[in-house]
A and B are shown apart, each in its own frame.
Chain A
């Protein structure tokens, strides 16, 4: 076959270092703890101490190049960090936007000055960049984006609105996808990417209350003549969609890792409970009605993890990884939901009690069937691109 097939190998056994990375992140997250994590989220506070200790350990920027103070590794390792956090009951959605999307896009497409300015902070976890593409009237159809960027001398001026943008309250900047060309909405190829300061004059935000027990809040953003200096355009003008796609594979991978980690968390709790809880003559885990769905969830989980690791390897090798990353996110979201749902079922009434720490993560996995790309849009993608079936929309 081709040369690359021999270069890109997927290790089936993790290295000593990789296991040590998992172990350290897990220790750190367990020390912080799920209960504290959820308490903070419910009070609308950030798990600052957890974030800071991960940052101090250098775990938040494992995928950022070493030249910018990061770990110099890839999404394989960032997925490990993210999965371990979730497996300890502390999933961090911000990893999905800051190191994964913004980190990858800036590494690949940022100007030298932009990389100098932003990557060290992302790598160290001291600055956070979030990502804004979704609009209320465009939804899954990115081509309908209507937020505009108009040139004004050296600057750009942004107008419009974005919705469901995560973590803006914690962010230093927002990576915004806007329509920079004059052509009518719907025409492709006219989108550009801008790094907008989260506190830029004219940028307003309102919280969207959601069911999520996550520290990252969701916002609607309003851009009212937000002035952005010319050097904040990332990549070439009009190239936003292509560049943005480079951030989407990492985003899907981290979404997947949040689901596989949460799945592990849920299964661990479910099995501990099922081994001990007894209402007839034997522990409930011996009833096949409880054991088999857990076994199925476990298999779905391991299949998803494997798919995710393969997708990360392709991405890290710089090979086309769109199909693999979409499949990984799809599989992981389905597996994550299955694990949490079955863990709740295994706990009976206790599954609903807040004390058992399962409902707190339900919406996190449920979300991943909708965002960053919906289940249906992945099915569309696979039908069209993998199977060559005609497009319906």
Chain B
């Protein structure tokens, strides 16, 4: 099987996120990591090729510094990577991101499965996987927490998480799935994996390599843009429910008032 895993480098989950002068996320002054959700996607891919043989290629669009996230994916066991890096890409919206990733996948060509995370922890739109599948014209199964592939029959069967439970969905390959958290337990890189990562092939592509013009991507090509933003208001003091024998009822009242129950 030939599996492509989309990975994004994001600011460390705990880092305070700020916008820079161009109203895009400041990725320079923070620690960046491999988007945690993408580790689940990668782990799933690695388990699949362990069971069915094949290769895992990592695909990432991001600045130079994204090599760190790519190298982490390689040290976990991916065979090679494609890194799309181009100054023109800064500020790309989800639609443009999916366009660029789709061009790269078309270039790869003979993939059987594309796996992504179901959400990047910085922008959190969760729409890139769906847009990408749409552009590629392949079946999409998003928010997957369990999947089985049958490479011979060229099909997959997945559990897709919904608000009320899950759906069991079948699709033909090639297909796109997005992984939810807790789908598996991502391995941490082994010592040998780390030492081998630098020797694995990383192909760097510009937008020209993908046949895209600069004004089709980045801030200029984006369908949406950020006009203004405000810092999140400080957390207000919580409500303290005193238990005077009626604690349970008071809690339910509180939750009901917030429409949680």
Contact = CB atoms under 8 A, between A and B. Distances in A.
Given A16-B71, A20-B75, A57 B188 contact: yes
Contacts of A3: none
A157 B188 CA distance: 46
A21 B191 contact: yes
A57 B76 CA distance: 11
B53 interface: no
A33 B27 CA distance: 30
A62 interface: yes
B68 A16 contact: yes
Contact of B194 (A17, A31, A56): A17
Contact of A56 (B71, B190, B197): B190
B189 A20 contact: yes
B200 interface: no
A16 B194 CA distance: 9
- Greatest chain B CB density within 10 A among A23, A28, A62 is at A23
Contacts of A20: 71-72, 75, 189, 194, 197
Interface residues of B, number: 13
A56 B190 CA distance: 8
A293 interface: no
Contacts of B197: 17, 20
Contacts of B71: 16, 20
B195 interface: yes
A57 B197 CA distance: 14
B198 interface: yes
Contacts of B195: 17, 71
Contacts of A206: none
B232 interface: no
A281 to B, nearest CB: 17
Interface in B192-211: 192, 194-195, 197-198
A31 B186 CA distance: 11
Contacts of B194: 17, 20-21, 24
Interface residues of A, number: 15
Contacts of A17: 194-195, 197-198
A16 B188 contact: no
B188 A71 contact: no
A58 B197 CA distance: 15
A27 B188 contact: yes
A57 B190 contact: yes
A71 B198 contact: no
A16 B75 CA distance: 11
Contacts of A219: none
A59 interface: yes
B198 to A, nearest CB: 7
A24 B195 CA distance: 12
A71 B68 contact: no
- Greatest chain A CB density within 10 A among B188, B191, B194, B195 is at B191
Nearest to A15: B198
B68 A58 contact: no
Contacts of B189: 20, 23-24, 57
B43 to A, nearest CB: 13
A27 B191 CA distance: 13
B10 to A, nearest CB: 15
Interface in A46-61: 56-59
A58 B198 contact: no
A24 B33 CA distance: 13
Given A16-B68, A16-B71, A24 B198 contact: no
Contact of A59 (B68, B75, B191, B198): B191
Contacts of B198: 16-17
A20 to B, nearest CB: 4
B38 to A, nearest CB: 15
A221 B188 CA distance: 39
A58 B188 contact: no
29 contacts: A16-B68, A16-B71, A16-B198, A17-B194, A17-B195, A17-B198, A20-B71, A20-B72, A20-B194, A20-B197, A21-B191, A21-B194, A23-B72, A23-B189, A24-B75, A24-B188, A24-B189, A24-B191, A27-B188, A28-B188, A31-B188, A56-B190, A57-B188, A57-B189, A57-B190, A58-B191, A58-B192, A59-B191, A62-B191
Interface of A: 16-17, 20-21, 23-24, 27-28, 31, 56-59, 62, 71
- Which 10 pairs of residues, A with B, have the shortest CB-CB distance? A58-B191, A57-B190, A20-B194, A27-B188, A24-B188, A24-B189, A58-B190, A28-B188, A71-B191, A17-B194
Given A21-B194, A24-B190, A56-B190, 9 more contacts: A16-B71, A20-B75, A21-B191, A23-B72, A23-B189, A24-B189, A24-B194, A28-B188, A57-B191
